[in-house]
Each structure stands twice: as C-alpha cells, then as structure tokens.
Chains A and B, each alone.
Chain A
Amino acid sequence: AQKVTQAQTEISVVEKEDVTLDCVYETRDTTYYLFWYKQPPSGELVFLIRRNSFDEQNEISGRYSWNFQKSTSSFNFTITASQVVDSAVYFCALSVTPPQGGSEKLVFGKGTKLTVNP
C-alpha cells in the first residue's frame, strides 16, 4: 500500500532560522512522483514542486530546497532564512498507479504546520 508520513505535526521557528520538513513515503512502484503543496492561512492549496522517482537530484528554488533520497524513501523540504510569510501547512504527496491498474491518484501526508514568528 502507498503511504506518506509527515511525522512533524507542528514546527515553530523564529524568523531567519532554517527549517526542514520531513516526508517519508512507502510504495512498491518503481515509477512514482512526489509533490509538495503549501496551504497558507487563507486556505488555498498551492503546488510547490514535483519530483519523479528516477531523478534524485536535489532542487533549489530561492530559499526553498528539496532533498530526495530513494535509499531512505524520503523527500525533505528545507526553507532557508524563514520568513513570516512561510507560515502555512505543508503537505507531501505521492502519485502512484494502483496495483490492479485503474487510475493514478495522489496520496497525501497529514501535513506539517509551520509557524514562523517575527
């Protein structure tokens, strides 16, 4: 079965600190995709990044970076020099095809609530 675990329920940091959000996934598929979404206090869900199972290169986008390690089934998200606007709930998700075929779908972790204090 496919599963995504975000063990950190809530994290609180002070502005300018670095923070890493953990994501561990489970799947037997060899082809899959991982995603991160952000849900700010306003409630909408915003797509941040996608990574496929064959590409283990880390990615950096401004203050955001992602570390994908197949050996540990992890896809961690680091925010460098955090800002108050980074306060949100962050979701990690896994996209797979069910074993009996059918339609692919996304499985979400339970989310990590990040609070960045001034």
Chain B
Amino acid sequence: NAGVTQTPKFQVLKTGQSMTLQCAQDMNHNSMYWYRQDPGMGLRLIYYSASEGTTDKGEVPNGYNVSRLNKREFSLRLESAAPSQTSVYFCASREGALSSPLHFGNGTRLTVT
C-alpha cells in the first residue's frame, strides 16, 4: 500500500529555475491538495483539486501552477523559483467528504538559492 507518493524528496534550485513536484495516490481518492510548511506558519494550502479536471486556489497560490493529470496524479509547478519558495511541500489526498481525513505524502524539501 503506497498511499501518497511524492517525488523528489529533496531538491535544490537556483533562483529563476523551474521544476515540477510530482504526486500520485493509489487510494482512488477524489480530492488532492498541495500544502507548504514553513517554520511558525503551520501548513498552508497552495492549490487543491476536488476532482479530476478541476483545480482551485488555496491560501498561497502565487508563483505556483498545478495540473490534475488524472485521478491519481496532481503535480505542482514552480515556473520561476524564488528564495521565498524555500519550504517543505506536502501533497495529500482524501475521499472528498467533510469527514475524510487527509492522507499525506512524505514531503519534498525544496531549497531555492
């Protein structure tokens, strides 16, 4: 049971470079999420997708784009990385109902120099 798989686990970028964080879930969940975690800020929602083909902005979407490629996969793209995007990124999924808990990936630690 893989659950939610994120790649890569670590990444170092230079300012202005682009990259895509990959996320896949094998639980047949409808909803998928991208959060970033910064010291003292908790978990902040970047984007989410309630179902295949739909995406919505969260609390901190600027500088990011997402793609819900299919039901399993939800990618996060940084077009032009900035030092302010240095963070730990978590992908998560859940069935979609209010009562469903989130299942998280193990995170991607991104450093932008």
Contact partner, B98, options A6, A45, A97, Cβ 8 Å: A97
User: Would you call B74 an interface residue if the criterion is a C-beta within 8 Å of the partner chain's C-beta atoms?
Assistant: no
> Is the Cβ of A45 less than 8 Å from the Cβ of B99?
no
Contact partner, A105, options B42, B48, B103, B107, Cβ 8 Å: B48
State whether A31 and B50 are in contact (beta carbons under 8 Å apart), knowing that A43-B106, A91-B43, A108-B42 are contacts in the complex: no
Contact partner, A43, options B33, B96, B103, B107, Cβ 8 Å: B107
A residues less than 8 Å from B58 (CB atoms): 105
Count residues on chain A whose CB falls below 8 Å from chain B CBs: 28
CB distance from B43 to the nearest CB of A (A): 4
> Is the Cβ of B98 less than 8 Å from the Cβ of A103?
no
Contact count band on B: 20 to 34
A103 to B96, CA, bound (A): 8
Not counting A103-B31, A105-B33, a sample of 20 additional A-B residue pairs whose C-beta atoms are within 8 angstroms of each other reads A33-B98, A33-B99, A37-B102, A44-B107, A45-B92, A47-B101, A50-B99, A91-B42, A93-B102, A95-B100, A96-B98, A103-B50, A103-B96, A104-B96, A104-B97, A105-B48, A106-B102, A108-B42, A109-B42, A110-B42
